[in-house]
Amino acid sequence: MTETSAPAPDGALPGAVRLRVAPSPTGDPHVGTAYMSLFNLAFARQQGGRFILRIEDTDRARFREDSEQQVFDTLRWLGLTWDEGPDVGGPCEPYRQSERLGTYRPYVDRLLAEGRAYRCWCSTARLAEMREEQQRSKQPTGYDRLCLGATEDERRRLPGFSETPVVRMLVPDDVELGFDDLIRGRVLAPRPDDQVILKADGFPTYHLAVVVDDHEMGVTHVVRGEEWISSTPKHVLLYRWLGLEPPRFAHMPLLRNADKSKISKRKNPAARLTWFREQGYLPEALVNFLALLAYPPAEGAEGEDVEVFTFEEFSARFDWSDVNPVGPIFDLKKLDWLNGVHIRALDPGDFTSRLLPFLQADGVLPADPSLGELARLRSVAELIQTRIGHLTEASALVGPFFVADDAVEVAPDARAQLTDDAAVVLDAATAALDGLPDEHTGILGSDPSWTAPAIEVALRDAVVTGLGIKPKFAFGPLRTAVSGARVSPPLFESMEILGKASTLARLRALRASL
């Protein structure tokens, strides 16, 4: 395994390595937040380090109050839990940038005093005009340094003046553009312009805040998306100016749509992290999927690819050199397959408990189900566990087991596929089942009970043998009567769960409607 651990920071902060994820609370959390958290956390756990959640809420124009809680909820749902953060505390409190404003100003003042930064009074309109002119004349875009060296009075006499200045860093002509990346090796970034580091509202920009916060929180490894490669020379320059040891960098490939475009919440609902929970995906399936997007499968005993694995297995074998730097395609079909595999691997009791919130949300079960209802659900869940790919699919299959016999709604497509001999089939089945003993009494030596095998034998004798109807067509009317649908859980097992009285009532109800 490649050794990439950095020395522990001064101040003896806990953890052999310290990594962080720093989302902005500007809306529904992006799936990229989970993607970055996964790789940060895998390395932190492997190395015996610490994982930090920091909230970067300096963009007040786009700030959304409920977004932070969504970050907490969705990452915890995925099991990507942090050791330090706004809600759990830690040695580097506070962990919200808006609560750290006093931290940044001394760094800005130092840069100003040393001539590494300068005040800029250019208005938004003036900057927009400057960029348009640069684009029109095909010049490199970037700030033209109109304010560099000017006093406030001198700048006031020029066009496009704003009363409240920003602070820009003064990027030297010989700025170092290359840096070492744990994933990509030596990287050469484009030359940066004089980036704003303190906004007119007194809030720092990302570029200053990330450097200060990562230093003060002892971050040893910065893992982020490849869109930040162009900003890294600015960050390394700030570290050098401030006499700080830079962390090691790892720039992850961006998640992409099928057309290779960057996945975004505006164009793809799957970019919203909350969407996966709403759609009935298991958290362990999504974690498995996100790992595979930028990392090779595990190797089996005979050299075969093993694509299904746990977070713990992923963390144990993790190595930065194995991360694929090519932007992966976000293939939901692959995720659907993984979700089905993980659903089938669940313990039946665990599977049942995971279904419950979806069934309650759809009104299939009440908020406080009875013990009898939970026992029936457990039985039904065992029938459908191999038949669904998303937890949201359960309500349609489970619902008929929790409605009154006279309230079973027959779907139009189920009624349409009933053939002319449906009435004869229902009559024969009703007569055959009516002759079976009632439900099992639990007394040793009692008569054969109302069980799926006994039900199957009776129905095959009456319908397949007795009426001469092929098995493929024999039981369609019975399935429709019991569930109201064309597709349902296994028929004989469903009848056993419903019981003799309910089964016969439903067969007779459909027969009466023909």
Q: Active site includes 265?
A: yes
* Cβ–Cβ under 8 Å, residues 17 and 287: no
Question: Distance of CA 88 to CAs 81, 216, 238, Å?
Answer: 10, 18, 30
Give 382: exposed, middle or buried? Use CB within 10 Å, 0-12, 13-18, 19+.
Answer: middle
What gap in Å lies between CA 435 and CA 500, rounded to an integer? 10
Q: For residue 163, which of 218, 194, 99, 119 has the smallest C-alpha distance?
A: 119
Q: For residue 86, which of 41, 54, 46 has the smallest C-alpha distance?
A: 54
Helix boundaries (H) for 346-419 = 348-361, 371-384, 394-398, 412-416
What gap in Å lies between CA 363 and CA 355, rounded to an integer? 12
Q: For residue 317, which of 80, 46, 50, 51 has the smallest C-alpha distance?
A: 46
Does 265 count as an annotated binding residue? Answer: yes
Question: Distance of CA 421 to CAs 418, 427, 467, 495, Å?
Answer: 8, 10, 10, 21
Annotated catalytic residue: which of 265, 334, 472, 500? 265
Two tokens, residue 59: 């963009």
Q: What residues form DSSP beta bridges with 52?
A: 20, 84
**Residue whose tokens read 């303190």:** 198
- Per residue in 407-435, is it b (16+ CB within 10 Å) or e — as a string? ebebeeebeeebeeebeebbebbbebbee
| Residues annotated catalytic, as ranges | 265
Q: Annotated binding site for ATP: which residue ranges? A: 265
